[in-house]
C-alpha cells in the first residue's frame, strides 16, 4: 500500500474518532479536560510545521542554472539562454498543492532600501558601485537614463511607477497557462540588455514560484535558483548567505569545459563548502556539468557519451583531491553531465536518460518518497498515542492506587532524566567556552596581521581599481563580491577566522549535520538518549496503553526539539560573524567616507585603527553572546521537556472511574497493521 494511502486510511480512522469524541456528553470535569485535549491533538495532527528540504543551485552567470531547472521541471518557466539575459534575483521553486495555477509571490524591497541601495545621487564619479548602479537604472528607466541626473529621473513617470510598485511590499501573479505565467513574471526575474526599461528585477528581493501538478517531484522540496556568484547586490547578498545555510543539498553547476580545465569552479565549490560549514545543514553536494549538447549534430552519440564519461572521471578525481578531510566526511558528492537543450529537443541525438535530467528528477522523487514515508510513520504513531490516551483513562476504579504509584514513579523519572541531561549539556557548554576563550586570545593577538595578509593577497600588483572594490566592501558592511572575482572580499570572515578555527572541530561534534555522525559530544545524542519511559515497562495489560501514549508523546516532543536544535545551531554559529560585523559597522562607514588623494590608504588606516581599538572588546562580546545563546537553547529544551512530559503523564493517569469514553481497541489494531506496512 503506498504511503499516501496508508496515511489517508489513518486519517479516516482519526476523523471518525474525532466525531465520536465530540459526541460524548459526559460532564465529569476530568472527562471534559481529556476530551478537549484529544480534540485539540487530532486537529493539530495534519498541520505539519516542518520546513521543507531545500536544494540550492549555485554557479556563475551563464553556466546553465536556469536551463537545468527548467529541464528538471519539464517546462520553460525561468528565463534562460538569451543573449545578455540571466536570472537576476533569488528564485525559489516549490509545489502548488492547493490548485492548478502557476503562482509567483514577489517580495519587493522597501522604499527606504531603494533609496539606500541604489544611491540615486549626482555624486557617481567616485562611486564604487557605478557599474552596478548603471545596470539597475538602465533596467528600470531605459538605456537613455544613464545620462540623466537624479532630478530628471525623479520627474520621469517611471519613478512614480516604481514608488507605487514598492508601496505594495509584495506582488502576486497567478496564471493557469504556464506560457502566460512565464511572460508575466520574466520582468521581475530577468536581467536582459534587450529589455532595458521594462525590467523590475532591481526592485525584487526574491521570487517564490509555485507550480501545480508536481506533487511527486516537489511536495516536500524547495529548489533555489540563485543569481550567478558575484552578481548579487547588498540586499540579496544578505539573503544569499541566509539561504545557503538552509540547504540540505547543493547542486554546483558549471560548464563542462571549464569544470575540466579551469580552477574557477573548484574555488566556487570551496567557497560553498566553507559557507555550508559547521553552521549549515547540507549533507549532499552534486557537481553538475552543463552544455554537453554543444557538439556538432553529425558527431556520433557514443562520442558525446564517451566525452561525458571522461569528464565525470576527471571531475571526480578533482573533487577527491580538492576536498578537505572534513568535507570528505561531511558531504556526499556525485557528478552529473546534463544536456538541458537536448532534453527538450524531440529530434535529439541523445536519449532522455542520456541527458541525465531523469537522474536528477529521480533524486527529487526518491527524496519526496522518503519524506512521505517518515511523515506517514509519524502520523500513524501519533494517532496510536492519542488512542492509547483514550484507553488509559478508562481503567477500573480499583486500579487508582496503581495509577497513583505509576504517576509518582514517572514524575520521579522526569526529574532524574532532566538532571542527567542538564549535566551533559553543561559539559558541552564548558567545552564550547574553553574553545571560545582560546579563539578570543588568538584573535586579539593575530587579527591585525591576518587582515593585512588577506588584503595583500587579494590586492592587484598594480593596485589599480582596488580602492573601488575596497570602498564597495566598506559600504556594504565588510562584504563585497566583485563580479569577476571567484570569491568575495569578506573582511568580517577574515576577522572571525581564529574564533572559528578554535571552535569548528568541537562545534561539528556538538551539532553534526548527519545523524550517522552523532557522538557522545552531540547535543542531539543527549536528547535522543533522554527518556522517562525506557525503564518503565508495562507489567500488565492495564499499563500498556499508558506506556504507548507517553512513549508517543516523548518521541514527538524530541523530534520537535531536534528541529529547534538544527535551527538554533545556525543562529549560534553565525553569532561570531554577526557580532563582529555589528561592532565593525561604524568603522566601515567611517572608512567608506574617506575621499580625495590617497583615499585607499586613508580607508585602510581607518579600518586598521578600528580593529586595533575594538579587538579586545568585540571578540569577548562575541564569545559571551554565543555562550548565552547556547545556554538559552539548553534552557528551552529542558523547560519544554519538563512542562510537556509532566502534562502528558498527568493526562495519561487521570483518575477516571467510568467506562463511558470510547472503546478504541479495533482502531488501535488497525493502526498497528498500517504501521507495520510503512
Q: Three-state secondary structure along 168-194?
A: CCEEEEEECCHHHHHHHHHHHHEEEHH
Q: What mean pLDDT do residues 432-456 have? A: 96
DSSP state for residue 399 in the 8-state scheme: G
Q: How is 536-596 classified by DSSP, letter by letter?
A: ----STTTHHHHHHHHHHHHHHHHHHHHHHHHHHHHHHHHHHHHHHHHHHHHHHHHHT--S
Instruction: Encode pLDDT of 251-279 as tens digits.
Output: 988 888 877 777 767 776 666 666 666 77
How much is the pLDDT for 502? 96
- Residue 504 scores a pLDDT above 80: yes
Q: What mean pLDDT do residues 441-461 have? A: 93
Which ranges of 190-294 does DSSP label H, i.e. alpha helix?
215-218, 234-244, 256-261, 264-276
Instruction: Name the region of 597 (left: φ>0; alpha: ψ -120 to 50; beta: rest).
Output: beta
CA gap 199, 514 in Å, rounded: 42
Q: What mean pLDDT do residues 539-556 have? A: 80
How much is the pLDDT for 127? 43
Q: Which of 173, 174, 136, 129 is nearest to 158 (CA)?
A: 136
CA gap 514, 364 in Å, rounded: 19
Residue 81 lies in a domain: no
Beta strand 284-290 pairing with 332-337: parallel
Instruction: Encode pLDDT of 225-252 as tens digits.
Output: 877 655 556 666 666 667 777 788 889 8
Q: What mean pLDDT do residues 282-297 have? A: 71
Residue 73 lies in a domain: no
- Residue 512 scores a pLDDT above 70: yes
Residue 472 lies in a domain: yes
> What residues form DSSP beta bridges with 175?
102
Q: What are the angstrom distances between the C-alpha of 393 and each of 407, 603, 667?
A: 13, 73, 16
CA gap 277, 605 in Å, rounded: 32
How much is the pLDDT for 535? 62
How much is the pLDDT for 96? 96
Burial of 490 per CB tally in 10 Å (0-12, 13-18, 19+): buried
- Residue 466 scores a pLDDT above 70: yes
CB proximity list for 389: less than 8 A, separation 6 or greater: 34, 37, 38, 545, 549, 651, 652
- State the total domains in the chain: 1
Please list, residue by residue across 89-119, b when 16 or more beta carbons sit within 10 angstroms of its beta carbon and e when fewer do.
bbbbbbbbeeeeebbbebbbbeeebbeebbe
How much is the pLDDT for 416? 92
Residue 514 lies in a domain: yes
Q: Which of 539-543, 556-560, 622-626, 657-661 is predicted most confidently?
A: 622-626
Q: What's the predicted TM-score (pTM) here?
A: 0.84
| Residues 259/307, Cβ–Cβ less than 8 Å | no
Residue 27 lies in a domain: no
Residue 351 lies in a domain: no
Instruction: Encode pLDDT of 525-543 as tens digits.
Output: 989 999 998 766 655 566 7
Instruction: Encode pLDDT of 576-634 as tens digits.
Output: 999 999 999 999 999 998 888 888 999 999 999 999 999 989 999 999 999 999 999 99
Residue 629 lies in a domain: yes
| Least confident piece of the model among 179-188, 238-247, 301-310 | 238-247
Chain centre distance of CA 383: 30
Q: What are the angstrom distances between the C-alpha of 299 and each of 449, 513, 596?
A: 56, 45, 60
How much is the pLDDT for 117? 60
How much is the pLDDT for 499? 96
Q: Which of 70, 587, 669, 629 is nearest to 339 (CA)?
A: 70
- Residue 173 scores a pLDDT above 90: yes
**Average pLDDT in the chain:** 83
Residue 110 lies in a domain: no
- Residue 470 scores a pLDDT above 80: yes
- By residue range, what is the domain housing residue 560? 415-646
How much is the pLDDT for 550? 87
Strand ranges, E, within 80-138: 85-87, 90-95, 102-108
- Residue 91 scores a pLDDT above 80: yes
Cell of 322: 580538492
Q: Which of 532, 512, 505 is nearest to 421 (CA)?
A: 532
* Total H helices, total E strands in the chain: 24, 13
Q: What mean pLDDT do residues 514-528 have? A: 81
CA gap 199, 185 in Å, rounded: 10
Cell of 207: 521570487
Amino acid at each position: 500500500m503506498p504511503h499516501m494511502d496508508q496515511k489517508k486510511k489513518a486519517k479516516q480512522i482519526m476523523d471518525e474518532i474525532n466525531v465520536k469524541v465530540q459526541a460524548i456528553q459526559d460532564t465529569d470535569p476530568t472527562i471534559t479536560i481529556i476530551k478537549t485535549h484529544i480534540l485539540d491533538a487530532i486537529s493539530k495532527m495534519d498541520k505539519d510545521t516542518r520546513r521543507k528540504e531545500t536544494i540550492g543551485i549555485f554557479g556563475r552567470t551563464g553556466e546553465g542554472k536556469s536551463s537545468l531547472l527548467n529541464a528538471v521541471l519539464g517546462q520553460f518557466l525561468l528565463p534562460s539562454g538569451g543573449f545578455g539575459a540571466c536570472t537576476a534575483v533569488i528564485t525559489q521553486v516549490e509545489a502548488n498543492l492547493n490548485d492548478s495555477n502557476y503562482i509567483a509571490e514577489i517580495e519587493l524591497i522597501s522604499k527606504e532600501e531603494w533609496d539606500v541601495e541604489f544611491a540615486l545621487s549626482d555624486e557617481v564619479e567616485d562611486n564604487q558601485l557605478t557599474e552596478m548602479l548603471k545596470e539597475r537604472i538602465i533596467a528600470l528607466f531605459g538605456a537613455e537614463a544613464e545620462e540623466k541626473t537624479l532630478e530628471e529621473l525623479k520627474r520621469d513617470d517611471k519613478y512614480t511607477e516604481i514608488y507605487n510598485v514598492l508601496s505594495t511590499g509584495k506582488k502576486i501573479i497567478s496564471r493557469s497557462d504556464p506560457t502566460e505565467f512565464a511572460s508575466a513574471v520574466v520582468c521581475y526575474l530577468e536581467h536582459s540588455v534587450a529589455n532595458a526599461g521594462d525590467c523590475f528585477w532591481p526592485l525584487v528581493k526574491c521570487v517564490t514560484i509555485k507550480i501545480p501538478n508536481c506533487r511527486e517531484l516537489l511536495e516536500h522540496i524547495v529548489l533555489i535558483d540563485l543569481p550567478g556568484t558575484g552578481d548579487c547586490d547588498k540586499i540579496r547578498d544578505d539573503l544569499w548567505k541566509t539561504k545557503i545555510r538552509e540547504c540540505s543539498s547543493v547542486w554546483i553547476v558549471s560548464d563542462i569545459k571549464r569544470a575540466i580545465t579551469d580552477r574557477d569552479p573548484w574555488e566556487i565549490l570551496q567557497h560553498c563548502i566553507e559557507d555550508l560549514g559547521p553552521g549549515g545543514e547540507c549533507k549532499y553536494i552534486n557537481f553538475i556539468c552543463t552544455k554537453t549538447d554543444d557538439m556538432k549534430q553529425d558527431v556520433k552519440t557514443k562520442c558525446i557519451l564517451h566525452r561525458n564519461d571522461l569528464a565525470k572521471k576527471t571531475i571526480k578525481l578533482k573533487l577527491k583531491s580538492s576536498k578537505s578531510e572534513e568535507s570528505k566526511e561531511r558531504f556526499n558528492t556525485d557528478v552529473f553531465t546534463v544536456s538541458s537543450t537536448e532534453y527538450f529537443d524531440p529530434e535529439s541525438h541523445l536519449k532522455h536518460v542520456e541527458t541525465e535530467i531523469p537522474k536528477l528528477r529521480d533524486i527529487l522523487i526518491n527524496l519526496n518518497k522518503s519524506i512521505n514515508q517518515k511523515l506517514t510513520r509519524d502520523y500513524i504513531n501519533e494517532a496510536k498515542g492519542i488512542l492509547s490516551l483514550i484507553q488509559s483513562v478508562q481503567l477500573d476504579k480499583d486500579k487508582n492506587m496503581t495509577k497513583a504509584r505509576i504517576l509518582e514513579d514517572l514524575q520521579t523519572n522526569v526529574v532524574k532524566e532532566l538532571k542527567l541531561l542538564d549535566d551533559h549539556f553543561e559539559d558541552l557548554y564548558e567545552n564550547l567556552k574553553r574553545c571560545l576563550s582560546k579563539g578570543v586570545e588568538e584573535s586579539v593577538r593575530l587579527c591585525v596581521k591576518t587582515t593585512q595578509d588577506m588584503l595583500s593577497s587579494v590586492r592587484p600588483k598594480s593596485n589599480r581599481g582596488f580602492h573601488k572594490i575596497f570602498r564597495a566592501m566598506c559600504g556594504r558592511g565588510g562584504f563585497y563580491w566583485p563580479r569577476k572575482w571567484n570569491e568575495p572580499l569578506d573582511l568580517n570572515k577574515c576577522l572571525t577566522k581564529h574564533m572559528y578555527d578554535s571552535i569548528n572541530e568541537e562545534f561539528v561534534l556538538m551539532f553534526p549535520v548527519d545523524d550517522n555522525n552523532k557522538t557522545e559530544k552531540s547535543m542531539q545524542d543527549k536528547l535522543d538518549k533522554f527518556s522517562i519511559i525506557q525503564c518503565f515497562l508495562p507489567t500488565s495489560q492495564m499499563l500498556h496503553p499508558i506506556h504507548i501514549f507517553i512513549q508517543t508523546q516523548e518521541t514527538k516532543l524530541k523530534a520537535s526539539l531536534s528541529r529547534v536544535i538544527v535551527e538554533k545551531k545556525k543562529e549560534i554559529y553565525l553569532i561570531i560573524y554577526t557580532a563582529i560585523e555589528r561592532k565593525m559597522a561604524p568603522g566601515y562607514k567611517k572608512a567608506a567616507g574617506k575621499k580625495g588623494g590617497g583615499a585607499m590608504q586613508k580607508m585602510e588606516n581607518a579600518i586598521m585603527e578600528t580593529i586595533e581599538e575594538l579587538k579586545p572588546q568585540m571578540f569577548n562580546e562575541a564569545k559571551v553572546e554565543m555562550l548565552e545563546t547556547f545556554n538559552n537553547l539548553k534552557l528551552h529544551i529542558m523547560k519544554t521537556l519538563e512542562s510537556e512530559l509532566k502534562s502528558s503523564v498527568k493526562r495519561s493517569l487521570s483518575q477516571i472511574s467510568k467506562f463511558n469514553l470510547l472503546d478504541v481497541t479495533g482502531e488501535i489494531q488497525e493502526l498497528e497493521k498500517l504501521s507495520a506496512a510503512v
